[in-house]
């Protein structure tokens, strides 16, 4: 199986040498195509609609197995075989933020440790300084825990949330009662700033500092009734 493409199309070649092109594009290593806009470049015998669907299924499964995003959209904006193949969409904090946390905590704590070790100040001053440093560093430590733990995964129609504190929980996309999207416009493009997903008993918020928020936003736009979605600019 081989999937290639340009800004104008996505091309799929299966293991039997059949080749088809779909209108679409390649963006940041991901492949997005319109499922109905097929043009067969090579096919053994007369191609049928089932051949098209089989090729789309194989290409989508190939992308999932290889860790690449290969998505085919129908006329309603739904992703073909998303539920059948359990395609995964994730949002999480990039571990690179831990570097920022480490620098901040080091900057706050190291001077206090140094002057204490060198015995440059009184014991009382050291205790007060240490207490203040710990107090100032605590928000960064909480953030570090959030970076390490928080993750939202949508697989097929099931969403799993691993919160910063507490146990993991799951809900179906059908259980979503409301979504509030906060966006901004940059050079004519809609940029997502924050997404809050509500069910009857819980809610989870995602922001634009998290990796994968655009993909998760698109996931809920596909799986949620438009009447339940509120977009604020």
Quote the CA–CA distance of 110 and 140 in Å, as a whole number: 15
Q: Decide the pairing of beta strands 70-73 and 30-42.
A: parallel
Give whole-number Cα distances, 145 to 130, 137, 159, 164, in Å: 21, 13, 22, 7
Instruction: Report the share of the chain in percent with pLDDT over 90.
Output: 74
Q: What would the pLDDT profile of 68-99 be if each residue is shown by its tens digit? A: 899 999 988 889 999 889 899 999 999 999 99
**CA gyration radius, the chain:** 24
Instruction: Report the share of the chain in percent with pLDDT over 70.
Output: 99
Q: What would the pLDDT profile of 17-66 be if each residue is shown by its tens digit? A: 999 999 999 988 899 999 999 999 999 889 999 999 999 999 999 999 99
**Nearest C-alpha neighbor of 65 from the set 150, 3, 152, 151:** 3
DSSP designation for 144: H
Q: What is the pLDDT of residue 114?
A: 81
Give whole-number Cα distances, 195 to 11, 95, 107, 190, 219, in Å: 33, 21, 33, 13, 12
DSSP designation for 92: E
DSSP designation for 78: P
Q: What is the pLDDT of residue 154?
A: 94
Dihedral of the alpha carbons of 82, 86, 92, 95, in degrees to the nearest 10: -120
Give 228 or 76, the one with higher predicted confidence. 228
Find the range with the poorest average confidence among 39-43, 160-164, 188-192, 210-214. Answer: 188-192
pLDDT at 126 over 90: no
Does the global pTM surpass 0.85? no
Q: What would the pLDDT profile of 127-141 be if each residue is shown by its tens digit? A: 788 888 888 889 999
Nearby residues of 86 by Cβ (< 8 Å), 6 or more positions away: 64, 155, 156
């Amino acid at each position: 199986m081989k999937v290639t493409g340009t800004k104008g199309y996505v091309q799929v070649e299966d293991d039997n040498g059949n080749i088809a092109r779909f209108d679409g594009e390649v963006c940041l290593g991901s492949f997005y195509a319109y499922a109905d806009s097929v043009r067969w470049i090579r096919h053994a015998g007369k191609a049928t609609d089932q051949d098209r669907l089989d090729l789309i299924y194989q290409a989508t499964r190939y992308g999932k197995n290889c860790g690449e995003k290969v998505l085919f959209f129908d006329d309603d904006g739904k992703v073909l075989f998303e539920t059948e193949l359990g395609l995964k969409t994730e949002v999480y904090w990039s571990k690179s933020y831990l570097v920022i946390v480490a620098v901040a905590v080091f900057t706050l704590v190291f001077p206090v440790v140094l002057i204490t070790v060198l015995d440059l100040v009184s014991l009382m001053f050291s205790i007060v300084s240490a207490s203040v440093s710990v107090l100032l560093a605590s928000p960064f430590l909480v953030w570090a825990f959030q970076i390490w733990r928080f993750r939202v995964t949508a697989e097929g129609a099931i969403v799993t949330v691993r919160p910063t504190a507490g146990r993991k929980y799951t809900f179906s996309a059908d259980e979503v009662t409301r979504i509030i999207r906060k966006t901004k416009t940059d050079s004519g493009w809609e940029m997502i700033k924050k997404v809050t997903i509500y069910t009857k008993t819980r809610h989870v918020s995602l922001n634009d500092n998290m990796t994968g928020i655009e993909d998760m936003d698109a996931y809920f736009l596909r799986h949620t009734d438009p009447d339940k979605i509120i977009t604020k600019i």
